[in-house]
Amino acid sequence: MEKGHEMYMNRSNANMNSFKGTKEPQHLSPRLQTKRTSVITNKVIKYEDVYDLLQKIPAGKVSTYGDLAKALGNPSASRIIGRILGKNPNPVQVPCHRIVMSNGKLGGYMHGIEIKKELLKKEGITFVNETTVCNFKNIRFYPQNSKTKVKN
C-alpha cells in the first residue's frame, strides 16, 4: 500500500455510491482546503491507520465499522471504513473479517459472507441465526488508536 493514501469525505462525495482516494480540489487555496476538510469531517481517514487498528482486535472478538471510525477520530466515517476494508490487500494479516455491523450482523466481506462466518467460527464466535453474532455485547472490542484518544 502506498504511503500516505487517504480518503477524504466532503459534501461533494458524501452521498456518492463510490468513494475514491482523492485529494481536495486544487482550485481551493490551502487555507480553504484545510478548513473544508476539518469542518466537514473530524479527521482524514488513512488506509494504514485503519489496517493498524484492525490488527489490535484479538481473535475471538469483533468490532464495528463505527467503532473503528470513532477510534480514528471521525465517528461519521463508517462507510469509508467499509470501503477501505473492501480494498484490504492482505486479509490474512489484517483481519477485516472481525468487523461487523453495529447490530451484530456480519455485514460484507471481500471473499463472501460464508468465508467471513467460517473464519469467525474458527476463532470461537457463534451465531444466533445465520448472520448475527451471538453474545455480541460480550465479545465486542473497542479499539483505541494510540494517535487519537477517544473515550468509549
Find the helix or strand (DSSP H, E) in which 100 lies: strand 99-100
Cell 463472501, residue located: 112
Q: Among positive and negative, which fits the CA dihedral 15, 70, 94, 137?
A: negative
Cell 492482505, residue located: 90
Q: Residue 40 in contact with residue 34, Cβ under 8 Å?
A: no
- Find the length of the chain: 152
Q: Which among 50, 57, 96, 125 is annotated as catalytic?
A: 96
Let me know if 96 is a catalytic residue.
Answer: yes
Q: Active-site positions? A: 96
